[in-house]
Amino acid sequence: MSLVLRYVVQEDVIHGKKVIKESFHGFAACGVSPLAGLCETLLTSLRGCKIDLLGCVAKCFDGAAVTSGRCTGVQARIRELCPKSINVHCFAHRLNFVIVDVVHDTGRAEDLFTLLQSLHNFLSSPIGHELYVKAPSSRFPNSQLREIPSLSETRWVCRHDACKTLSATLPAVIDVLEDLIEVSGERSATAWRMMTRLNTSFVVHLCILNFLFKICSELVRNSKGRARL
């Protein structure tokens, strides 16, 4: 478990300027029982920092029942010790849920990521990977090789990385597919099917998703930055 403390300090005594800061306290191993282990580890860590629990005004967890459960979750146990504290569902975690659900519910976006995962699998094969590695050095000497990452069902950041990577390496990917089309067999047929899907509509949707994901990244980055009261 990782523990991050968020607190308020007064930087300017004369003008009363206050600043919200965050400090990473460290990692801690939890016990065998998820609920009891998390509670005990969290409380021990806070006591080790000599933090008065009565001064705790909020707790931020992800949406898992073991942490955010209203009756028996970690937040409910801690509320017994500091009754004035409120529970906050991590905003970055909530944003992740929203983006992943929107992608799944948008047909064209889902099709695009299905193709991205297929490209990752195809270019990770021995022959595909060998051609992909050679393509930038032989035909695109000024481009940096970046392999398309595998997607995650729960983390939208992986999808953003895949979009950025394909946007940067699309010419090399197309060249590799064209080379594989010339090879007879199942690989040729698979490469041809992928090539037919890398059309103008695909590129437009890729650019749109790149733009939207960039905005989401800035939102997450700003939410982790310093906020002034």
Q: Choose among 82, 89, 74: nearest CA to 35.
A: 74
Domain map of the chain by residue range?
2-89, 93-223
Q: What's the token pair of residue 79? A: 């509320």
Q: Are 144 and 172 in contact (CB under 8 A)?
A: no
Amino acid, single-letter form, for residue 60 = C
Q: What is the CA radius of gyration of the chain?
A: 24
pLDDT tens readout for residues 180-214: 888 767 888 888 999 999 999 999 999 999 998 88
Q: Choose among 169, 179, 162, 175: nearest CA to 144.
A: 169
- Model-wide pTM > 0.85: no
Q: What pLDDT score does 125 carry?
A: 82
pLDDT tens readout for residues 15-67: 677 888 888 888 877 765 666 667 777 778 878 878 777 778 887 777 666 77
